[in-house]
Amino acid sequence: MSEWAKYLILASSFSVLAISFGIGLWAKKKVTSPEAFFGGAKIFGPLTVGLATMAAVGSAFAVVGVPGLVYSTGNTILLFMFAAPGFVFGYLVIGKKVRAMAEIGTVASLGDLSDLRFNGHRGIKLILSLMLFIGCAMYLSAQVEACAKLFENLFEWNKLVISVVIFAILIAYTVLSGEIGGILTQAFQGFVIVLAGLIFAIAFFVVTGGFGPVLEAISGPQGAAAGLDPSAMTAWGSLPGAYSFAWVMLPTLGIMCQPQVLTRVMMLRDPRELPKLSIYAVSTNMITGMMVMAIGYCAIYLVANGLVEIDHPDKAVFKVADYLGLVAQLFVYPAVLAAALSTSSLFLSLAGNIVSRDLPGSLGVTFSAARQVTVSRIAMSVMGVAAIGFASVSGDMVAILGTYGFGTLAAATFPIFIVGLLWKGATGRGVMTGMLAALLATVGGVTIELLNRFGLADFAWPGGVPWYVFVMAAAVVVTIAASLLTTADTLDRRVEMAMEL
Amino acid sequence: MNKGKTETLLMSISGLLWLAMVGLAGAGHWLAGLYALLGLLLVYGVLGTSHKGRFDLRLVAFPSLVWLVMWAAAFWLGNHFAELYAGREPAFTIFGFHPSFAAIVVLFWIVPTLLMGFGFEAVKDRWLSQERWDEFLRRVHGTDEGEDREGRE
């Protein structure tokens, strides 16, 4: 690739950052209160929320990690991407209840929502904050890893320097306008991803001639010579079946309670627009799904035919874009950055919310509005450092890091927001016990994974099922059992009405 | 059985289904675990329709149950063709896909996604009518002791 082409791609990527920054500046005037800054404004329509949700859920995990895994292990990870009906199911089951809760009091964070449902239970809020913080670090580390791969591919810049620069710019525009700017920039970034998706889907057919030639290429002698496994093209891919199970279960159940979904529902103007939001979210999600499948399949086709060499799965998206030429590169690199930024800004806001509002609240401390914003900014910086640190020590692929974060966040939120809002019998003590189980299991799971990674242990999870599945199950089962064994709480009448809507 | 007890029963069943699902997958029966997941989703689907002491089973039947049936078919067909052509080239393809993955593309992804997206819009009024939402807002923003008592009655 010529030097001028590299700088043109860099300029197109940074234009996403510049426009996002501009949107953040413009959105600043809409921040009329601390609640609005932290996400308590119910002012957005279904298209904005739908695009923002897709972008925040999609993330660099989807755009970089998934094509890499498709290239290296086949269709297994596509089960995760294709579980879009779970989006709609989540809105159908829990959407109106969450949105209704936002009418009862000032709800700007998940901690506020938890307070309403469980009568300000501090223990639940404390553990929720800690779990969300851990999940945020994991999810953010996937974005760090993706950005590093992007710039490594272009310039071979130092990973640490790249991560620090990107996070500095990101924090700057996130602290400027909070969640209001966050949702608008995410909607813009969602649009960039969709545009790149459409271009890539068309490019796939032009380059390969369709799905048949990809199957032929991987099944033929050239595929075997390139070390590719034809079983990758079956329904379950070439990974053990336990991954198929985990990667269907995780998005289907987990999407209902992901912070990216819950916080956006609370910002929707009218809950009766949730079905429209669903259509926008799943149709854009389908385009993203098509894009990542096309990139992964394109990588298989190009490698099997000896046209491209890929030394690390996370580089598949960039190698394919480089093969397709400048037009594809000018869209794909910005799309990767947009995907990483959209999720990162959401999780940075979430981290800021946790440290400046939820965590102090759970300990009986309340900051003034101005102090909350300052503390939030410091928290975002700390979270950025934590994410960069986790990315460098874990050494995992982007997609694997993404699933860790997804699983941890689901374990943190499922007992409170799914069990809690669907069942009046979920007690404060029951949920607290379930959350404690989730926290301990998460710490245990991550520790075991890190020990395995550094060769200090050789623990295999039963059936080869990823650890976060057990964490989620422990959190839910303990919550239900402990709730059955404890006396029901008295609910605020308005909370009951929201739950019965 | 009153509604509170039914909800508790359903939530207890969901707990057992979680155990069954993860237990089966942990024991190596991951496909059976996927079918248990469908049962679990059905339970949540029923709980999600709860309104003033009643479950709206028509809302469960469409679109959620139709979606779950499609996923069951996708799992079965996907696994059937994956086993049938294990270690060899498939005898035929569908849209160029391996037949087992074609089942996933059609019955797991495209058709159920469109069905759920547009199906939700089709049942919007049944899910949350304008009257019900307005009534909720009126009662929440104007709730006082008198209205509370009225609500309980």
CA distances from A455 to A448, A449, A451 (A): 10, 10, 6
* Range among A106-120, A305-319, B29-43 with highest mean pLDDT value: B29-43
Q: Which of A86, A101, A126, A123 is nearest to A42 (CA)?
A: A101
Reported as a pLDDT band with limits 50, 70 and 90, residue A286 is very high
Q: Quick one: tokens of B119?
A: 């199906």
Which residue among B48, B87, B97 places its CB closest to the CB of A94? B48
**Mind telling me how many Å the CA of A374 is from chain B's nearest CA?**
33
Domains and CATH numbers, chain A: 3-395 (1.20.1730.10)
Torsion of CA A99, A481, B61, A259, to 10 degrees: 30
A296: amino acid identity, one letter: G
- Tell which of B62, B95, B98 to mutate to test the A interface (max A CBs under 10 Å): B98
Report d(CA A310, CA A291) in Å as an integer: 19
Q: Return the pLDDT at A175.
A: 73
Report d(CA A117, CA A427) in Å as an integer: 10
Residues of A in contact with B12 (CB under 8 A): 480, 484
Q: Return the pLDDT at A395.
A: 59
**Per-residue pLDDT tens over the stretch B100-123:** 999 999 999 999 999 999 999 999
Q: Taking CB atoms and an 8 Å limit, are B25 and A469 in contact across chains?
A: yes
A470 touches chain B (CB under 8 A): yes
Q: Return the pLDDT at A24.
A: 79
Q: Return the pLDDT at A18.
A: 85
Rounded mean pLDDT of chain A? 87
Length of chain B: 153
Residue B81 and residue B130 in one domain = no
Report d(CA B9, CA A199) in Å as an integer: 50
**Secondary structure class of A266 (helix, strand, coil):** helix
Q: Which of B41, B19, B88 is nearest to A92 (CA)?
A: B41
* Range among A102-116, A247-261, B118-132 with highest mean pLDDT value: B118-132
Residues of A in contact with B41 (CB under 8 A): 89, 252-253
Q: Quick one: tokens of B98?
A: 């391996």
Reported as a pLDDT band with limits 50, 70 and 90, residue B149 is very low
Instruction: Kindly state the average pLDDT of the residues A459-473.
Output: 93
Burial (CB < 10 A; 0-12, 13-18, 19+), residue A382, is middle
Q: Quick one: tokens of A482?
A: 């402990």
B18 touches chain A (CB under 8 A): yes
**Per-residue pLDDT tens over the stretch A36-94:** 666 667 888 999 989 888 887 777 778 888 999 999 999 999 999 999 999 899 999 99
To the nearest whole percent, how much of chain A has pLDDT over 70?
Answer: 96
Q: Quick one: tokens of A80?
A: 């995760």
Residue B51 and residue B71 in one domain = no
Lowest mean pLDDT among A30-44, A183-197, A445-459, B42-56: A30-44
Residue B12 and residue B30 in one domain = yes
Report d(CA A224, CA A112) in Å as an integer: 55
A–B interface: beta-carbon pairs under 8 A: 228
Residue B47 and residue B69 in one domain = no
Total structural domains within chain B: 3
Residue B46 and residue B3 in one domain = yes
**Secondary structure class of B58 (helix, strand, coil):** helix
Rounded mean pLDDT of chain B? 91
Report d(CA A433, CA A415) in Å as an integer: 10
Whether residue A482 contacts residue A429, with contact meaning beta carbons closer than 8 Å, is answered with yes
Report d(CA A498, CA A96) in Å as an integer: 8
* Sequence-separated (6 or more) residues with CB below 8 Å from residue A132: A110, A259, A350, A351, A354, A409, A412, A413
Q: Taking CB atoms and an 8 Å limit, are B96 and A214 in contact across chains?
A: yes
CA distances from A189 to A43, A228, A343, A398 (A): 19, 34, 10, 19
Report d(CA A337, CA A18) in Å as an integer: 12
Instruction: Kindly state the average pLDDT of the residues A457-461.
Output: 91
Q: Where are the alpha helices (DSSP H) in A267-419?
A: 274-304, 316-324, 326-353, 359-362, 369-394, 398-413
* Range among A122-131, A202-211, A390-399, B64-73 with highest mean pLDDT value: B64-73
Q: Which of A218, A296, A252, A198 is nearest to A82 (CA)?
A: A252
CA closest to B83 among chain A residues: A234
Instruction: Kindly state the average pLDDT of the residues A307-318.
Output: 90
- Is B153's pLDDT higher than 50? no
Report d(CA A425, CA B50) in Å as an integer: 14
A376: amino acid identity, one letter: S
CA A313 centroid distance within chain: 20
Whether residue B46 contacts residue B55, with contact meaning beta carbons closer than 8 Å, is answered with yes
Residue B97 and residue B150 in one domain = no
Residue B64 and residue B39 in one domain = no
Report d(CA A451, CA A322) in Å as an integer: 37
Residue B1 and residue B29 in one domain = yes
Reported as a pLDDT band with limits 50, 70 and 90, residue B86 is very high
- Is A35's pLDDT higher than 70? no
CB atoms within 10 A of CB B2: 8
Residue B117 and residue B66 in one domain = yes
**Secondary structure class of A437 (helix, strand, coil):** helix
Residue B91 and residue B105 in one domain = yes
Residue B132 and residue B117 in one domain = no
Report d(CA A421, CA A432) in Å as an integer: 15
A100: amino acid identity, one letter: A
Largest CA distance in chain A: 70
Burial (CB < 10 A; 0-12, 13-18, 19+), residue B13, is middle
Q: What is A144-159 written as a DSSP string?
A: HHHHHHHHHHHH---H
Q: Return the pLDDT at B148.
A: 45
Residue B84 and residue B114 in one domain = yes
Q: Return the pLDDT at A58.
A: 73
**Mind telling me how many Å the CA of A25 is from chain B's nearest CA?**
34
Q: Return the pLDDT at B1.
A: 53
Q: Taking CB atoms and an 8 Å limit, are B98 and A233 in contact across chains?
A: yes
Q: Provide the CB-side half-sphere exposure for A383 (13 A, CA).
A: 32
CA distances from A67 to A72, A97, A154, A304 (A): 9, 35, 18, 16
* Sequence-separated (6 or more) residues with CB below 8 Å from residue A227: none
Reported as a pLDDT band with limits 50, 70 and 90, residue B144 is very low
Q: Is the dihedral of CA A421, A424, A428, A430 positive or negative?
A: negative
Q: Return the pLDDT at A397.
A: 60
- Is B24's pLDDT higher than 70? yes
B54 touches chain A (CB under 8 A): no
Burial (CB < 10 A; 0-12, 13-18, 19+), residue A315, is buried
**Secondary structure class of B48 (helix, strand, coil):** coil
Residues of the domain holding B141: 124-153
Q: Interior CA angle at A200 toward A196 and A204, to 5°?
A: 180
**Per-residue pLDDT tens over the stretch B35-64:** 999 999 999 999 999 988 789 999 999 999
Dihedral pair phi/psi, residue B51, rounded to 5°: -150, 120
Report d(CA A147, CA A151) in Å as an integer: 6
- Is A140's pLDDT higher than 90? no
To the nearest whole percent, how much of chain B has pLDDT over 70?
Answer: 91
* Sequence-separated (6 or more) residues with CB below 8 Å from residue A369: A33, A34
Q: Interior CA angle at A328 toward A327 and A330, to 5°?
A: 65
Instruction: Kindly state the average pLDDT of the residues B6-24.
Output: 97
Report d(CA A318, CA A332) in Å as an integer: 8
**Secondary structure class of B133 (helix, strand, coil):** helix
- CA-derived radius of gyration, chain B: 21
Spell A449-465 as b/e; 16+ CB within 10 A means b. Answer: beeeeeeeeeeebebbb
Instruction: Kindly state the average pLDDT of the residues A268-289.
Output: 93
Report d(CA B2, CA B92) in Å as an integer: 54
B15 touches chain A (CB under 8 A): yes
Instruction: Kindly state the average pLDDT of the residues B3-29.
Output: 94
Residues of B in contact with A89 (CB under 8 A): 41, 44-45, 64, 67, 116
Residue position matching structure tokens 């049942």: B123
Helix (H) / strand (E) containing A19? helix A3-27
